[in-house]
Amino acid sequence: MAEFDKTKGYQAQEEVFFDDGREIELLHFVYGKPDIEDVRGSPSRVLQAIDEFARTKKYLMNVGEDKGRIVTDLIAEVKPQTMVELGGYIGYSCILFGDAVRKAGGKRYFSLERNPEFAAVIASLVDLAGLSEVVKVIVGSSDVSIKRLHSSGALQHIDLMFLDHYKPAYTTDLKLCEELKLVTPGSVMAADNVIKPGNPPYLEYVRSSVQEKRQALEKSEAGGGPDARFKDRTANQYAKRQGQEKLDASIKGNPNLVYESKLTNSFEPTGEPDGVEITRCNAELKQWEDEQQDIRYGLRGGRNTDPRGLVYKPLSIKPQAQIVPMD
């Protein structure tokens, strides 16, 4: 991993680091620049202005250059026709990624933001960057917005999703997208802040096998609040404006989806270590297929081995098992 360029570091993150007026200050800063006419229509110049504010004035909770590069490289690889971000804040990520989606031949970038003031800032800066034809800002809670986009037919499949909103909602919103068949084989997820502040439930879910997810689903209990593994500051981050967050415990997701997930280490724009979890949905393990393999090999307790000690890998097309020797 490359070293962090300290000359590009943001101001330190304060105890109160958002929703204190700095977002409107940013708008005045950007639109007050002497070269504003040169900034218009240029996503890179708008991003430079946002970075300048965060480096010289006040911290902004943006994805930043380093982690942003991980996702733009992913966009160039995946070439998504439709990309969704959960949590837009002031629009840094949707300008950076929306521009990358457009360059990759994509058609639509949905930015879902719960706070209407932040959404207004996003819309203003997206327009300044000349990305209004690609980026659509959706105001409302992430789960309600996902359901509304799906029911209206505006969102039928997610090629690439960037998660950077309320941390305890990462898992429930992914499960919602699974249930609605928005996330299917071929979908890719990029989750920010999995080290700082961290997201143990999400990492556990996307790194679990199909069998482990099924077992966890059977043992799950009705709830509705954030997982106890989240620190109070993370769990109550938006309580001031929105009250105690309620998560829909009835969302079960689709445990039959096969994920391949890997952490890419990087830095927060302040220089603090963080990382982006890249998760690829590779297949869907059909229920009948799995049951036939269990019957054939007498599997119990989730061990993917037959009596001869060989590992099998389920195939998504034919209801058979592929036998490969163990390492």
Q: Do 65 and 37 lie in a common domain?
A: yes
Domain count, the chain: 2
Compute the radius of gyration of the chain from its Cα atoms: 21
DSSP state letters, 263-283: EEEEE-TTS-EEEEEEEEEEE
User: Is the pLDDT reported for residue 317 higher than 80?
Assistant: no
Q: Do 114 and 48 lie in a common domain?
A: yes
pLDDT of residue 228: 65
As a whole number, the mean pLDDT across the chain is 88
Model confidence over 278-312: pLDDT tens digits?
999 999 997 546 655 666 666 644 444 443 333 33
Confidence of residue 316 (pLDDT cuts 50, 70, 90): very low
Confidence of residue 314 (pLDDT cuts 50, 70, 90): very low
Model confidence over 86-98: pLDDT tens digits?
999 999 999 999 9
Model confidence over 66-112: pLDDT tens digits?
999 999 999 999 999 999 999 999 999 999 999 999 999 999 999 99
Domain that holds residue 308: 287-324
Cβ neighbours of 210 (radius 10 Å): 20
Q: Do 193 and 311 lie in a common domain?
A: no
Query: Nearest Cα to 253, choosing from 181, 325, 302, 185?
Result: 181
Q: Quote the CA–CA distance of 276 and 228 in Å, as a whole number.
A: 22
Q: Do 256 and 294 lie in a common domain?
A: no
Residue 85 lies in a domain: yes
Model confidence over 213-271: pLDDT tens digits?
999 998 875 555 556 665 555 545 655 666 656 788 889 999 999 999 999 999 999 99
DSSP state letters, 51-93: HHHHHHT------HHHHHHHHHHHHHHH--SEEEEE--TTSHH
Residue 1 lies in a domain: no
Q: Quote the CA–CA distance of 290 and 214 in Å, as a whole number.
A: 12
